[in-house]
Each structure stands twice: as C-alpha cells, then as structure tokens.
Amino acid sequence: MVSTPTISRQRPGSACEECRRRKVRCDRRRPQCQVCFETGIECKINTTRLPRGPRKGQLRTLRTRIAALERCLADQHPEINHQMASLFEGSVIDCDSEEDALRDLPPLPDALPGMPDVSDDQRSSKSPRSPGSPSRASSLVSDLMRADLDQLYFDRVHPFAPILQRWRYHVWAKQPKKTEAQTCLQYAMWTLAASLSAQFQSLRDRLYTETRRMLDALDLQGLKQEAPSIEQAQAWILMCIYEYMQLSPLQAWMSTGRCCRLVLGMRLYELDDPNSPVTMAREQEAVLVDWIGLEEQRRTFWMAYSLDRFISFHNGLPFTLNEQLITTRLPCPEEDFQSGQPT
C-alpha cells in the first residue's frame, strides 16, 4: 500500500489583505491566492507590521518616574526606605527592549508596609484648599467625561430645573480661569447628572463630597465679600435637588434654607419692582440690558421658591420665602430664553 504524502492546509507566509478584510482563510498562493483569483482582485500582502510591545524609550521614562516617586516617598517616610529597596530588588528592566518587560514582574501590593492608610476625608481635612484650586476630585473627571456629563445635565436635569442658558454656560465653561462660584456650579451640575446616569454612578458620591466642600469654603469666604454670585445660588439649587433625591428630605430642607437666604441676599425677589431705580434705568436703557443674565436670575429665584415650597411642605415645616414681597416676573418661554430674545 502506497502512502500519499500529507499536504499542509496552508502554505507558510502571511495572508493577503483581501482575505484579512473578508476574514476568510487564505491559501497563500503566489502570485495570487485563490480568493483574489476568483474575485479578480489584486493580491496584496502587507509585510509591514507595527512592532509589538512598548515603544523604544518608553520603559526608561517609566523607570525614571518610578525612581522620582520612590525618592519623594522616602523623603516623607524615611522608615520605609529599606522596605522600598527590598521591594524592587532584582527587578531590572531593559529599557531598550521591545518586549514587554513588565509582564513578568510580580504584582505590587495595595499599600506599602509601614505606610499609614489615609482616607480621602482625612486628606481633604489635613490639606485645606480654596474652592477654585485643583483637587483630587478633578482627576476623576477627564475632558471627555466632562463633555458627557454636560450633555447629560442638559438632557436630563435641565428639563425640570431650567436655570441655565446653554450657550452662555458653554462660553464660560471653556475658559481656563473660572470664578470659584462657577467651579462650584460645574461640580454641582456633574453631581446631579452623574446621579441620573448608570454610567457615572461610581462618581456620584465623590463629586457630591467635593461640591459640598467647595460650597462650604465659598460660604466662609463670602463673609468678606459684598454679595454672592448667581452661580453660587444655582449650585445650591442643584445640591438641594440631589439631596432630596439621593439623601434625605431633611438634609435637602436645610440646604434649601441656605439657598433661599442667598436669593434673599441678592434681592432676586424684587427684580421687576416698578418703583425700583434699577428697573426704571433698565426701561430707559433697554439696549444695554443683559436679558439672558436677567432671565437666569428670574429662573434661579423661582426655582428656589419652588424648592422652598415643595421641600418645606414635604417635611411639614414653615416656608422661608414670603410670597407677598415678590415682584419678580415669571420666567419667559424656554425658546426665547435659549435664543436670547428679550420678552
């Protein structure tokens, strides 16, 4: 019995680009495979492949950064310097190698031995920061996440709390330097938007903690200021809504009281008082009036008024705002507000 030689199913070499695109088996015939021959397509083979592993010099940069972190940690905690040395002993990395040299390194422990565990609350309490300064929470929100949270806010929060003009917000949100009140408002927006999204639920509590920290610090600084800003009142409105939905009605009621006192201090309840000198001057110089800013003030007041009535009634507690003193007009239609048309 004559045995026939076995023929391999595939020839050595790389598959052509057409077979790769179709995700079919290439017989690797030259100069043209069977698939390209039947379809009448030129059989092309790409011999240039991206190198695998890290780029040249990338591991050297990583090793330099690790060494710098080791020095900083050793300066702050001299007692663990010898433990750091034993931890990385024998872990030599060839920085010019194209292979992934980090693959065989043992996993690092969650915390170094002898290093005290400091919680997030302890960090924030030991290192006081101003409301507008960069904080640990800012690293939680990347530029892409900020864009998503902004879109979520205007899609899901703005319909029931229409206090912001979208175009004006995007203008000052893109500025590199913002006021402390604007930063508080942004974090309040992201906190409420994250609570209404399954994708950002993990950020909700940390964003809320950071927002409250900044608002409390801004209140302390406000003792030296002449008047609060509209963004500060808007941030408190969003915090009241978040606390009512996620925490407790009583906590929301206390925050509503702070919000209403800001509104009273800004005298937003008498924006359209016919006997006010400001209203008279506005009627005489209508061209110079910031209609969008004026409408934001009206909407901020009426949103605070609505929260005061709703949350106080839910808790069976007295109201803060006296409706007999109100001379502020009701908000204009949403289309006119977003387009900036005076009404």
DSSP state letters, 216-262: HHHHHHHTTSSS--HHHHHHHHHHHHHHHHHT-HHHHHHHHHHHHHH
The pLDDT assigned to 81 comes to 55
Question: Does residue 320 carry a pLDDT above 60?
Answer: yes
- 157 by Cβ neighbours in 10 Å (0-12 / 13-18 / 19+) ranks as buried
Q: What is the mean pLDDT of the chain?
A: 78
Q: Residue 282 — pLDDT band, cuts 50, 70, 90?
A: confident
Give the whole-angstrom CA distance, residue 89 versus residue 213.
42
Task: Please indicate, yes or no, whether the overall pTM of this predicted structure exceeds 0.85.
Answer: no
User: What pLDDT score does 134 carry?
Assistant: 46
Question: The CATH number of 14-45 is which of 3.40.190.170, 4.10.240.10, 1.20.140.10, 3.50.30.10?
Answer: 4.10.240.10
User: Percent of the chain at pLDDT above 70?
Assistant: 72
Give φ, ψ of 314 to 5 degrees.
-65, -35
Q: What is the pLDDT of residues 230-277, one digit of tens each?
A: 999 999 999 999 999 999 999 999 999 999 999 999 999 999 888 888
pLDDT tens across 73-126, in order? 766 666 555 555 555 454 444 444 444 444 444 444 444 444 444 444 444 444
- Cα-to-chain-centroid distance, residue 341: 31
